[in-house]
Structure 1
Amino acid sequence: MKIGILQTGHAPDALRAALGDYPDMFVRLLAGHGFDFTTWDVENMDFPHSPQAAEGWLITGSKHGVYEDHPFIPPLEAFIRDAVAADIPVVGICFGHQVIARALGGRVEKFRGGWSVGPTRYRIEGRTCTLNAWHQDQVVIPPEGAETVGHSDFCAHAALRYGDRAFSLQPHPEYGRAMIEGLMAHRGPGVVPEDRLADARARLDQTTDSPAMAERIARFFTERR
């Protein structure tokens, strides 16, 4: 099955040599499921010719806000609507989660409660799990027809399901400890309050449920449920 990765941002330069860029992280996360991957750097206006260019789509995270004025966001939202209308499965992570919601009529805001960083407990589809978080923006009003299937104490709409057409997560199953540590070092200072960074550092030893979430994402693509 061919999965198209829509890359909406890049990992910090200082981390790429060791950890790769965002598409590399998803390729590692979903390894072993028989997927072939092709990446389009939509942040730099490299878009597929149509939603039929792949059998499923995965939208990455980004340092950008979906409500910001970037040239790639309107055509990305249009592409999402076209893919959903064409019944081609779409998965979104963090920024991807937010931009799917916004494209389909939801609302995303910078959360007044601040940042969520590091290993975080969620309740997703009836199960408690721990996944890494790195965000302040949140979906505050899901689109009509979306079902909230995951939340945390900090994030009311941490996972959304749109029937069998789209599935999205606010947390990052593709991020391991090294990525969170790197983001705290290279993007955190002066942006994320130090008390939030310190709290996250104290939780870095927690084991995450990324392998189980990888299985869930793979099943969504292959079984559409």
Structure 2
Amino acid sequence: MPDSLHVALLDASLGDTHVQRNFTRELAARLSIVRVSEGDMPQPWPDANAPRTAWPYDALIVSGSQSSVYDDRPWIAHVEQYVRRALAAHAPVLGVCWGHQLLAQALGGTVHSQSRYELGYVTVEQIADDPIWKDVPHSFTVFATHSDAVTRLPENATLLARNNAGVQAFRHGSAVGVQFHPEYDRRCAQDMIERKSLPDAEKQTALQTITDANVQAARAPKQLLGNFLRMAQAKRPASRNA
């Protein structure tokens, strides 16, 4: 039997968040969690001429963060450099929220602050067919929390989903970025809204989206996490499946 997939989770969140709890619960894989926002880094890539089997991971996931990808912080530059190396090696990479924006920036797209915060359970529409959407409804409900957004996709990227807030998902080769949070549950959604430094009326509007119906509907997009792992399994070097 093959070993379980080994996934590096680059936790870019600041302080005490739900990132590790959420992804540990939702991913059927062996996770190596790396607190990149605290200066930790995943195991380095091998020499450029070495086979990808020399890299210890089968896939890479980059989490959300309260920072901006364009902030002048050394750890962000280090993460972006690491992600570029993964992309150059055609490794499976999933970027979530901040990670989605970092993917776009690393590939030559642009990310800017927006005048309106997208916060709460929202509706997203698929734009293009893709394996990441297997068993995910064409129009789906999911939790979003961001004030930055991808304003220009990288060259050769495919837009996969959008809504009135803009780009919600894209693919570029073996990498997929999603602006929303498929990994969130009710507890996380409520806590993240309550932590925001926003007017009370704006937070109350977002809290009102946390209904039983929306929480239930948001279970379907979680399927994309399993779909990503299946795509990573398909790209796994044969020697690791022995």
Match of 1:195 among 190, 201, 220: 201
Match of 2:184 among 172, 175, 180: 175
Structure 2 CA distance, aligned partners of 1:107 and 1:209?
31
The one-letter amino acid of 1:159's match is: A
Instruction: Summarize the Cα distance change of 1:209–1:5 in structure 2 as closer, same or farther, 3 Å threshold.
Output: farther
The one-letter amino acid of 1:86's match is: A
Q: Deviations over 1:142-190 (max 9, x none)?
A: 1111111011112x21101113x1111111111222212212222x2xx
Alignment of 1:1-225 (within 5 A): 1-10=5-14, 13=16, 21-30=18-27, 33=28, 35-51=29-45, 52-112=55-115, 114-124=116-126, 125=128, 127-154=138-165, 156-163=166-173, 165-186=174-195, 188=196, 191-205=197-211, 206-223=214-231
Instruction: Summarize the Cα distance change of 1:159–1:208 in structure 2 as closer, same or farther, 3 Å threshold.
Output: farther
Instruction: Summarize the Cα distance change of 1:211–1:71 in structure 2 as closer, same or farther, 3 Å threshold.
Output: same
TM-score (norm 1): 0.86
The one-letter amino acid of 2:215's match is: T
The question of whether the paired residues in 1 share the 8 Å contact of 2:110 and 2:153 is answered with yes
Q: Deviations over 1:115-159 (max 9, x none)?
A: 0111100013561000011111000011111111011112x2110
Q: CA deviation at 1:208?
A: 4.8
The question of whether the paired residues in 1 share the 8 Å contact of 2:114 and 2:149 is answered with yes
Please identify, of 64-73 and 191-200, the stretch whose mean Cα deviation from structure 2 is larger.
191-200
The question of whether the paired residues in 2 share the 8 Å contact of 1:2 and 1:37 is answered with yes
Structure 1 CA distance, aligned partners of 2:217 and 2:107?
29
Instruction: Summarize the Cα distance change of 1:49–1:70 in structure 2 as closer, same or farther, 3 Å threshold.
Output: same
For structure 1, the residue ranges without an aligned partner over 5 or more in a row are: none
Q: CA deviation at 1:40?
A: 1.1
Q: Deviations over 1:50-72 (max 9, x none)?
A: 34231000001110011111111
The one-letter amino acid of 1:7's match is: D
Instruction: Summarize the Cα distance change of 1:216–1:183 in structure 2 as closer, same or farther, 3 Å threshold.
Output: closer
For structure 2, the residue ranges without an aligned partner over 5 or more in a row are: 46-54, 130-137, 235-242
The question of whether the paired residues in 2 share the 8 Å contact of 1:93 and 1:171 is answered with yes
Instruction: Summarize the Cα distance change of 1:101–1:131 in structure 2 as closer, same or farther, 3 Å threshold.
Output: same
Instruction: Summarize the Cα distance change of 1:135–1:208 in structure 2 as closer, same or farther, 3 Å threshold.
Output: farther
What SS does the aligned partner of 1:134 have?
strand
What SS does the aligned partner of 1:72 have?
helix
The question of whether the paired residues in 2 share the 8 Å contact of 1:57 and 1:89 is answered with yes
Structure 2 CA distance, aligned partners of 1:192 and 1:147?
33
Percent of residue pairs bearing the same amino acid type = 27
Structure whose alpha-carbon radius of gyration is higher: 2
| Count of matched residue positions in the alignment of Structure 1 and Structure 2 | 209
